Amino acid sequence: MSLAAHLPVLQVVVPLLSAPLAVLVRHGGLAFGLVTAAAWAAFAMAIGLWFQVGESGTVTYHIGSWPPPWGIEYRVDRLASFVLVLVSGVAAVVLPYSRACVGREIAREQHYLYYAMFALCLAGLLGIVITGDAFNLFVFLEISSLSTYVLIALGRDRRALAASYRYLIMGSIGATFIVIGIGFLYLMTGTLNLVDMGTRLSGVENSRPVLVALAFLTVGICLKLALFPLHQWLPNAYTYAPSAVTAFLAATATKVSVYVLIRFYFTVFGESLVFHKLPLPEIMLWLSLMAMFGASAVALFQNNLKRLFAYSSVGQIGYITLGLSFDSVYGLTASVLHLFNHGLAKGAIFLLIGGLVLGLGRSGGGHGQPTLDRIAGLGRRMPITCLGIFLAGLSLIGVPGTAGFLTKWYLILAALEQGQYWLVAAVLLSSLLAVAYVWRFVEVAWFRPSAREEAGQDEVRHEAPRALLVPAWLLVLASLWFGLDTSFTVSSALDAAEALVGSGR
Amino acid sequence: MSAAVASSSLLPELIQHFSHIITVFLMVSGLYIVIARGNLIKKLVGLSVFQTSVYLLYIAPGKIIGGTAPILASQYGVYSNPLPHVLILTAIVVGVATLALGLTLAVRLREAYGTIEEDEILALDQQAELEE
């Protein structure tokens, strides 16, 4: 067998192995080199898998050569390969950024542990996406969650510890709900393979244990993906974690949970059970709308820039679940597209905010939080950094020419297809809220005088270090590029959506 | 009279579903402790109880009375499924890791805030936010 045939397993094993190696070398620089190399290798492999799926359809890999219903199967279809590219790509960009950033945010003797945890988190997220086995999925979920709690707790502020503890409690409850759901499914079907589970469920899909399993899985996964009333862990975790960690989590962790939800709904339960026999679409629709309006409105009144964009994340997740609730090809396309587009834009924004925080620290403001009065006038001191946040913000709003526009376009198409014109208005109105909170940043950063200018001095230009700007701008440019060249994202998302919706179940 | 009839049919039912009743009892009481208690350690105790209930959910249906380990020999006919046990072994490891990490965080929180009561930590945070 050639190396290409082993890509699915290497995709997970390479980052997973780099974690203990990073601990063994006990040296920040070496650990950085190892983990970054592993992340770039994972990115290359994800792209390789994307092409393999394009050539030969779904790629399956049998761990230890045990055939699927008994052994663990790794399964890469169009959707999985698309999410793999997002997760590994963001990791490959965030890691070089970390190098410049953790030096200032994390104590020196803990650096190698930071990289080890990052590698574990990456391996866990990739594993969730690639595995075709329900219990394996839970194990990877816990690997990524446990390392995420540690990464958040590494933040300098003591509130990072409280946020991490809170996330640990809520995340563990969510994960336990997921195992309970998987347990019921296992009791009913006697298999753990997701595809096999789907075929075997067809005889018993109306029985009560299956409905209970659906309920437990939905609540558990929605806790993980921070659907509106279950999002309480998210704002503080994003606000107080180290900048690089926030960017990585905001771009990947909740997105992977969305992937898990799609996987369970369409591959295991089948749309007829989820969408036609239960009022789940209505519940999903109203929760999504509450997220789009409620969380975005809360974002408007935040004084801390990181928390503002954290609440915006909760709102943006509303668009993803809104797309799911349509149960149509266009709706699902919008969801899949938005988890990619929002990942890029939010990743870029949090990376650039890390640069802002650094600039604030240098001007004598301490390593404080980026509150709005502290960032006043920063548009003149750090124009390139602030311009990046503004451009990525345009993608959050969904301005034509940015990646975010495509999502809104497909959401509106899906709403029109079902004749729900009021939803078109809702999508457009909620975009106005995004305009409002992005504008708040623009207004403070460019049109308010900084402390130095109020004292009558000119503002000196002082950008964030290049090592921070280059990775962040890569993501900014990507979110502009994918707004203009839609061949990669839209075709992947459409393919994935057609395969899932059209599977006839 | 009717109560006696109900209890006489309820008792075998109860015994038959004994493991499920225990599982649900542990599950709900664990979740209740996590939500109702403000002490960080007590919350973790509740979380542990909650997670442990899931072990029972998997293990109990996997055991057949009189069933043996899956040994392929003529004198053994009834096997218990070993897979749930293996799965729960993994889940136990995950549970222990979660508990250990949670306790570590509680220790660090105690060092940083001087308390392990959630409401006091929240009050200190609010104070810090007002000063910001």
> Mutate which of B23, B58, B94 to disrupt the A interface (most A C-beta within 10 Å)?
B94
Report which DSSP code applies to B39. Answer: B
pLDDT at B2: 47
Least confident of A242-251, A304-313, A366-375, B26-35: A366-375
Distance from CA of A236 to the nearest CA of B (A): 11
- Assess contact for A120 and A22: CB atoms under 8 A: no
Residue A371: band (very low, low, confident or very high) from pLDDT cuts 50, 70, 90: confident
Kindly state the tokens that stand for A282: 């209505």
Phi and psi, residue A498, nearest 5°: -65, -40
Q: Measured between beta carbons, which residues in chain A are less than 8 angstroms from residue B113?
A: 158, 162
- pLDDT at residue A229 is higher than 80: yes
Cα–Cα distance, A338 to A489 (Å, whole number): 10
Yes or no, beta carbons of B102 and A176 under 8 Å apart? no
pLDDT at A183: 93
Task: Note whether residue B28 is domain-resident.
Answer: yes
Residue A470: band (very low, low, confident or very high) from pLDDT cuts 50, 70, 90: very high
- pLDDT at residue A365 is higher than 60: no
pLDDT tens digits, one per residue of B61-101: 888 888 888 888 888 888 888 888 889 999 999 999 999 99
Phi and psi, residue A329, nearest 5°: -60, -45
pLDDT at A429: 92
Asked if A365 reaches chain B (Cβ–Cβ under 8 Å), the answer is no
Distance from CA of A165 to the nearest CA of B (A): 6
- For A188, the closest chain B residue by CA position comes to B61
Q: Which residues of A175-205 are buried (b: 16+ CB within 10 A; e: fewer)?
A: bbbbbbbbbbbbbbbebbbbbbbbebbeeeb
- pLDDT at residue A461 is higher than 90: no
Kindly state the tokens that stand for B116: 């392990």
Distance from CA of B97 to the nearest CA of A (A): 8
Distance from CA of B112 to the nearest CA of A (A): 6
pLDDT tens digits, one per residue of A427-438: 999 999 999 999
Residue A233: band (very low, low, confident or very high) from pLDDT cuts 50, 70, 90: very high
Yes or no, beta carbons of B102 and A186 under 8 Å apart? no
Q: Measured between beta carbons, which residues in chain A are less than 8 angstroms from residue B116?
A: none
pLDDT at A363: 59
Residue B1: band (very low, low, confident or very high) from pLDDT cuts 50, 70, 90: very low
Kindly state the tokens that stand for B96: 């222990």
pLDDT at A276: 80
**Long-range contacts for A100-107 (Cβ within 8 Å, ≥24 apart)?**
A100/A465, A100/A467, A100/A468, A101/A242, A101/A243, A101/A244, A101/A354, A101/A358, A101/A468, A102/A242, A102/A244, A104/A358, A104/A361, A104/A367, A105/A154, A105/A155, A105/A156, A105/A242, A105/A243, A105/A367, A106/A154, A106/A156, A106/A242
- For B95, the closest chain A residue by CA position comes to A172
Yes or no, beta carbons of A162 and B125 under 8 Å apart? yes
**CA-based R_g, chain A, Å:** 22
Task: Note whether residue B71 is domain-resident.
Answer: no
Yes or no, beta carbons of B91 and A179 under 8 Å apart? yes
Task: Note whether residue B35 is domain-resident.
Answer: yes
Q: Measured between beta carbons, which residues in chain B are less than 8 angstroms from residue A368?
A: 132
Distance from CA of B121 to the nearest CA of A (A): 8
- pLDDT at residue B4 is higher than 60: no
DSSP string, A225-250: HT-GGG-TTHHHHHHHS-HHHHHHHH
The chain-wide mean pLDDT, for chain A, equals: 90
Residue A135 burial (CB < 10 Å; 0-12/13-18/19+)?
buried
Q: Chains A, B: CB contacts under 8 A, how many? A: 73
Q: What ipTM goes with this model? A: 0.91
Yes or no, beta carbons of B105 and A369 under 8 Å apart? no
Distance from CA of A180 to the nearest CA of B (A): 6
The chain-wide mean pLDDT, for chain B, equals: 87
Asked if A135 reaches chain B (Cβ–Cβ under 8 Å), the answer is yes
- pLDDT at residue A347 is higher than 80: yes
Cα–Cα distance, B115 to B113 (Å, whole number): 5
Yes or no, beta carbons of B98 and A164 under 8 Å apart? no
pLDDT tens digits, one per residue of A134-188: 999 999 999 999 999 999 999 888 899 999 999 999 999 999 999 999 999 998 9
Least confident of A28-37, A394-403, A440-449, B59-68: B59-68
pLDDT at B128: 83
Q: Measured between beta carbons, which residues in chain A are less than 8 angstroms from residue B57?
A: 180, 183
- For A236, the closest chain B residue by CA position comes to B125
Cα–Cα distance, A141 to A220 (Å, whole number): 12
- pLDDT at residue A83 is higher than 90: yes
Of A187, A303, A371, the CB nearest to B61: A187
The single-letter code of the amino acid at A334 is: A
- pLDDT at residue A92 is higher than 80: yes
pLDDT tens digits, one per residue of A385-408: 999 999 999 999 989 888 999 999
Q: Per-residue pLDDT averaged across A64-89, rounded?
A: 91
- Assess contact for A406 and A366: CB atoms under 8 A: no
Report which DSSP code applies to A133. Answer: B
| Residue recorded with tokens 């380990």 | B69
Least confident of A346-360, A379-393, A456-470: A456-470
- For A135, the closest chain B residue by CA position comes to B87
Distance from CA of B11 to the nearest CA of A (A): 23
Cα–Cα distance, A83 to A53 (Å, whole number): 13
pLDDT at A380: 84
Task: Note whether residue B70 is domain-resident.
Answer: no
Residue A10: band (very low, low, confident or very high) from pLDDT cuts 50, 70, 90: very high
- pLDDT at residue A366 is higher than 80: no
- pLDDT at residue A446 is higher than 70: yes
Q: Measured between beta carbons, which residues in chain A are less than 8 angstroms from residue B43?
A: 169
Task: Note whether residue B26 is domain-resident.
Answer: yes
> Mutate which of B19, B80, B81, B101 to disrupt the A interface (most A C-beta within 10 Å)?
B101
Which domain CATH number covers B35?
Answer: 1.10.287.3510
Closest by alpha carbon to A50, among A23, A96, A19, A87?
Answer: A87
- For B128, the closest chain A residue by CA position comes to A159
Q: Measured between beta carbons, which residues in chain A are less than 8 angstroms from residue B40?
A: 165
- pLDDT at residue A240 is higher than 50: yes
* Domain, as residue range, for B102: 2-65+76-131
Cα–Cα distance, A160 to B109 (Å, whole number): 10
Residue A279: band (very low, low, confident or very high) from pLDDT cuts 50, 70, 90: confident
Total domains in the fold of chain B: 1
Yes or no, beta carbons of A176 and B108 under 8 Å apart? no
The secondary element (H helix, E strand) that includes residue A402 is none
The torsion angle over the Cα atoms of residues B34, A287, A179 and A202, rounded to 10 degrees, is 150
